[in-house]
Amino acid sequence: MSIMNEIEKKVILIVDDSEPNRSLLRDMLYSKYSILEAIDGEDAIHQLEKKHDVIDLILLDVMMPKIDGFGVLEKMEAEGWIEDTPVVMISSDTSAKSINRGYALGSTDYISRPFNQNIVKRRVENTLLLFEKQKGLMDLVKEQVSEKEESNARMIRILSTVVEFRNGESGSHILQIRVITKILLDVLRHRHPEYLLTQVDVANIVTASALHDIGKICIPEGILNKPGKLTKEEFEVMKGHASKGEEILCDMEDDTSDAMFNYAKMICRWHHERFDGNGYPDGLVGEEIPIAAQIVALADVYDALVSERVYKPPFSHEEAFKMILNGECGSFNPDVIECLETEFPKIKKTILENSELKDQSLINPEMVSKDMIMRRNETLSNRTISLIEEERIKYQFLASLSTDALFDYDAKTDHLVFSGENREAFGLPDFVENLTQSSGGLGNDVQELVQELRYRIQETTPEKPFVNKQCKWKMADGSTAWCQVTARSLWHNDNTEDQSKLRGAIGKIININDEHQKLSHFQKLAMHDSLTKLLNPMTAQTMIKEDLEVNPDAIGVYIFFDVDDFKKINDNKGHNYGDLVLQYIASVLKKNTRSDDITARIGGDEFLIALRNIQDEHVIKKQVERIYQALLHSNDDYELSVSMGVAISPRDGKNYTTLVKHADLAMYAAKKNGKHGYQYYDSSMKEFD
Amino acid sequence: MNIERFYNLIGGDHKEVVETLGLPEELIETYLTKIYNDTTYDKLEEAIASKDYDTIEATAHTLKGNAVNLGLGNFGVSTSALVNCVRGNEYDKVDGLFESVKKDYQQIRLAYEETK
């Protein structure tokens, strides 16, 4: 048996004066339970005093010396142990009389002799199970009741704080009333049982005391918070809060059996009554005033004295105490006054430590209710609507200033709205209904674009909501313009949703045609040789490298050539003529190459051609020959000839450097061969290196 | 100890005892040994001599409990009769009933000694 099981084993106390009987029972039960033994009733009580909270069940013999089984049951009842520990009587005396006596004293069951192991085990097990379930249920009920009480109390605190705030009273007024009421009631209950107050009554009265001034909600604010003395008429209105409070509560709750509510009604109506009949509204005298109202009346007076009011500064606790005892605040029940006298130090101390009291509430009802009051002249929905309206006007204004087209897509309704001054120039309607189902009058291109954007927007996340796209846009006037479409997805940020949900998207379409043209112009400038408009060496190199990277095994032809005796041309005919020759060469190359071939001026009179995606060698020969022949030119005063070297990928190399180097070697070979010709690279050319 | 023979000698039902208790025979043997060594009977005998009826009732009750639990034949019946007689204040019958108790008790002791 593991230690854990040993710990979890239930504990059974066997009480029997006969040793053989105890060992018999022990042997029957010890495998499943921890066994304690008591040799008689006295010993049993002695053991229970020490460890009643660890004993789960008692097997109790009836006939025993000193104290018998019934005596043990009586003691257990008196100590309250019987509530937590079930007792199974052991009886050889199966007369109904003694069994009934056992039941009457709280035993749960009995077993009779001779002991049958099965029956003993089963009785013990059943009793334990039953008790456990009962206890579980009781705990559950207790928990539910206290939960309900807690939420009731919380609602009442909120409600009363609303009243308190409107009354311009300090935030702790209600709390202090409750505290004073509680202290006075606790002592009154003990000292004067004749008032028949139970603990439940005390709890209900304390809770209800928070509502004592709820009727003030009906009093005009001018009177309620008037700094000076009230006129006679005003005071009459003010006095109305007592009966108004009771009316409010009567309207709120029909259930007249709710004790807390009944106390609240009494307290509201009669917390300004005085013991001598000089109070209001009914002028009740003495015991006619319910004790709950009497206590709260005193608590209210005490609190009012020690608190600051619009019409008076706070008095010290000692002053307040003296004023009440002197009858300056009307007469009170002597029993209640007596409670105040003895509990005065405690009340004073508790109120002065008031900050601690505040922390007792789980939520901050004060803040909640203040917030509610702040908004009382402006209902939540109106406030929301005005905020939305404000945003809408702002948005419209900014949209009208924009030369772009704006759009707003709502995923729930599937509607797409276009706006912005230039909406029509983009050929866009103002509204597309059921976007997923219909083209909504959008052109095919736009429809396609919309689908693409919708797809990309769905791929966004709340953290990365942006989508950008540049595309050619067919404008309403038939022209084509480069446009930039920028969109942002919108998400529900409602925390109650498991995941963020796409709500829709907003965005704009900007005409960037001018910028695009400028950009492409500058890009061209940057990429090309200014004289020949062929690619510059850097760009050619980048493009060839990229191409080789993408298609390392594709057949390509790399031709490197220069003009034979170009220096002579420059020297004899001048640089301008030389430039013209170079421009002429460029024009020849453009005519004799495909648009995706690369033609570049590498420097001076050196050129590089890269012919890509060549099918076979036969084509290469023809192509090289054609280019070579095209470049040869003669007129009256000048004959143009070139020397060309050709390298073929992947045969002669797979990277830019190797291929250009080999083409260069081949070109030198051509020159050595007497210029005016071309050579294909072969590995023997290394010797020229 | 031959428990079966023990029960046969005292007119008890060995099989029923074993079944009811649901415990191994070795344990039953230890209970019987405890009862054999127990002094409750001696206290009863003393109480009878001194006519201490409270002690007579208590000790006879204890013996009755043991007898019933262990199925000790007539011993349970005679002790029970003695207990009821004292509770009913029929003190004149006490001596006569004690004779039966004594006879049954001695039978148990003899049987125990013979079969142990």
Closest residue in A to B16 (Cα–Cα): A116
* pLDDT tens-digit map of A131-166: 887 777 766 666 666 666 666 676 776 777 677 766
For residues B4 and A474, give the distance between their C-alpha atoms in angstroms, rounded to a whole number.
113
User: What is the structure's pLDDT at A294?
Assistant: 95
- How much is the average pLDDT of A367-372? 41
* pLDDT tens-digit map of A394-437: 666 666 666 678 888 888 778 888 877 778 888 888 778 777 77
Give the phi and the psi of residue A613 in degrees, each rounded to 5: 55, 55
Helices and strands of chain B, counted as H and E runs: 7, 0
Confirm if A443 and A476 have CB atoms less than 8 A apart.
no
DSSP state of A214: G
pLDDT category, A266, cuts 50, 70, 90? very high
User: What is the structure's pLDDT at A290?
Assistant: 94
pLDDT category, A109, cuts 50, 70, 90? confident
> Three-class SS of residue A547?
helix
Interface of A with B in 115-174 (CB under 8 A): 115-118
Interface of A with B in 13-52 (CB under 8 A): 16-21, 23-24, 27-28
Instruction: Please indicate whether, in this complex, the C-beta atoms of B65 and A21 are within 8 angstroms of each other.
Output: yes
Instruction: Please indicate whether, in this complex, the C-beta atoms of A92 and B38 are within 8 angstroms of each other.
Output: no
For residues A215 and A269, give the distance between their C-alpha atoms in angstroms, rounded to a whole number.
9
Closest residue in A to B20 (Cα–Cα): A116
> Three-class SS of residue A139?
helix
Q: Amino acid identity, residue A284?
A: L
Instruction: Please indicate whether, in this complex, the C-beta atoms of A117 and B21 are within 8 angstroms of each other.
Output: yes
Average pLDDT, chain A: 81
* A598-603 and A556-563 beta bridge pairing: unpaired
pLDDT category, A101, cuts 50, 70, 90? confident
User: What is the structure's pLDDT at A356?
Assistant: 45
**What DSSP element (H or E) covers A680?**
strand A677-680
**Which member of B20, B35, B58 has the closest CB to residue A65?**
B58
> Three-class SS of residue B99?
helix
| A279-to-A92, A101, A117, A214 alpha-carbon distances in Å | 71, 57, 75, 18
- How much is the average pLDDT of A314-335? 91
User: What is the structure's pLDDT at A94?
Assistant: 59
Give the phi and the psi of residue A306 in degrees, each rounded to 5: -85, -5
Tokens encoding A506: 């907003």
Interface of A with B in 69-108 (CB under 8 A): 92
Closest residue in B to A95 (Cα–Cα): B84
| B81-to-A129, A279, A597, B45, B51 alpha-carbon distances in Å | 38, 79, 128, 16, 17
For residues B54 and B40, give the distance between their C-alpha atoms in angstroms, rounded to a whole number.
14
User: What is the structure's pLDDT at A390?
Assistant: 61
Instruction: Please indicate whether, in this complex, the C-beta atoms of A27 and B70 are within 8 angstroms of each other.
Output: no
For residues A241 and A222, give the distance between their C-alpha atoms in angstroms, rounded to a whole number.
14
For residues A586 and A531, give the distance between their C-alpha atoms in angstroms, rounded to a whole number.
9
B35–chain A Cβ distance below 8 A for any pair: yes
Which residues of A fall within a CB distance of 8 Å from B65?
A: 16, 18, 21, 61, 63, 92, 113
For residues A237 and A309, give the distance between their C-alpha atoms in angstroms, rounded to a whole number.
19
User: What is the structure's pLDDT at A494?
Assistant: 55
Confirm if A40 and A18 have CB atoms less than 8 A apart.
no
Tokens encoding A416: 């797409």
User: What is the structure's pLDDT at A277?
Assistant: 92
CB atoms within 10 A of CB B12: 22
Instruction: Please indicate whether, in this complex, the C-beta atoms of B34 and A116 are within 8 angstroms of each other.
Output: no
State the nearest Cα–Cα gap between A72 and chain B, in angstroms: 17
pLDDT at A167 over 70: no
Tokens encoding A123: 């009785």
Closest CA to A653 of A543, A537, A558, A547: A558
Closest residue in B to A112 (Cα–Cα): B69
Give me the interface pTM, i.e. the ipTM.
Answer: 0.83
**Which member of B31, B38, B68 has the closest CB to residue A92?**
B68
User: What is the structure's pLDDT at A248?
Assistant: 82
For residues A187 and B17, give the distance between their C-alpha atoms in angstroms, rounded to a whole number.
64
Which residues of A fall within a CB distance of 8 Å from B23?
A: 24, 27-28, 117
Closest residue in B to A16 (Cα–Cα): B62
Confirm if A582 and A601 have CB atoms less than 8 A apart.
yes
* pLDDT tens-digit map of A492-524: 765 555 556 788 888 888 888 887 787 777 777
Closest CA to A171 of A354, A360, A376: A354
Query: CA dihedral in degrees (A553, A556, A560, A561; nearest 10)?
Result: 170
**Which member of A18, A23, A116 has the closest CB to residue B62?**
A18
* A87-91 and A57-61 beta bridge pairing: parallel
User: What is the structure's pLDDT at A1?
Assistant: 42
A162/A360: higher pLDDT: A162
Confirm if A632 and A640 have CB atoms less than 8 A apart.
yes
Does the reported pTM lie above 0.80? no
Q: What share of chain A is helix, strand, coil (3-state, %, to 5)?
A: 55, 15, 30
Which residues of B fall within a CB distance of 8 Å from A16?
A: 65
User: What is the structure's pLDDT at A373?
Assistant: 43
State the nearest Cα–Cα gap between B73 and chain A, in angstroms: 12
A567–chain B Cβ distance below 8 A for any pair: no
Instruction: Please indicate whether, in this complex, the C-beta atoms of B20 and A117 are within 8 angstroms of each other.
Output: yes
A63–chain B Cβ distance below 8 A for any pair: yes
> Three-class SS of residue A91?
strand
> Which of B39, B69, B77 best probes binding to A when mutated, by most A CB atoms within 10 angstroms?
B69
CB atoms within 10 A of CB A555: 18
Instruction: Please indicate whether, in this complex, the C-beta atoms of B69 and A20 are within 8 angstroms of each other.
Output: yes
**Which member of B58, B66, B71 has the closest CB to residue A21?**
B66
Look up tokens 């079944």; give the residue. Answer: B19
* A677-680 and A633-635 beta bridge pairing: unpaired
- How much is the average pLDDT of A79-97? 80
Instruction: Please indicate whether, in this complex, the C-beta atoms of B38 and A17 are within 8 angstroms of each other.
Output: no
* pLDDT tens-digit map of A613-669: 777 777 888 889 999 999 888 777 778 899 999 999 888 888 899 999 999 999 999
Which residues of A fall within a CB distance of 8 Å from B81?
A: none
**Which member of A20, A63, A113 has the closest CB to residue B35?**
A20
Closest CA to A462 of A414, A510, A509, A494: A494
B39–chain A Cβ distance below 8 A for any pair: no
Look up tokens 């029957």; give the residue. Answer: A28
User: What is the structure's pLDDT at A114?
Assistant: 81
A484–chain B Cβ distance below 8 A for any pair: no
Which residues of A fall within a CB distance of 8 Å from B20?
A: 114-117
> Three-class SS of residue A40?
coil
User: What is the structure's pLDDT at A444?
Assistant: 74
Choose the most confident range, by mean pLDDT, from A127-136, A321-330, A365-374, A443-452.
Answer: A321-330
For residues A121 and A135, give the distance between their C-alpha atoms in angstroms, rounded to a whole number.
21
Closest residue in B to A119 (Cα–Cα): B20
User: What is the structure's pLDDT at A168?
Assistant: 64
**Which member of B20, B31, B71 has the closest CB to residue A23?**
B31
The residues of chain B scoring below 50 in pLDDT are none
For residues A187 and A512, give the distance between their C-alpha atoms in angstroms, rounded to a whole number.
85
Q: Tell me the residue length of chain A.
A: 689
Closest CA to A111 of A14, A11, A23: A14
**Which member of A63, A115, A118 has the closest CB to residue B69?**
A115
pLDDT at A360 over 50: no
pLDDT category, A361, cuts 50, 70, 90? very low
* pLDDT tens-digit map of A535-562: 988 889 988 998 888 888 888 999 999 9
Q: Quote the Cα angle for A574-A580-A584, to 5°.
A: 145
pLDDT at A382 over 60: no
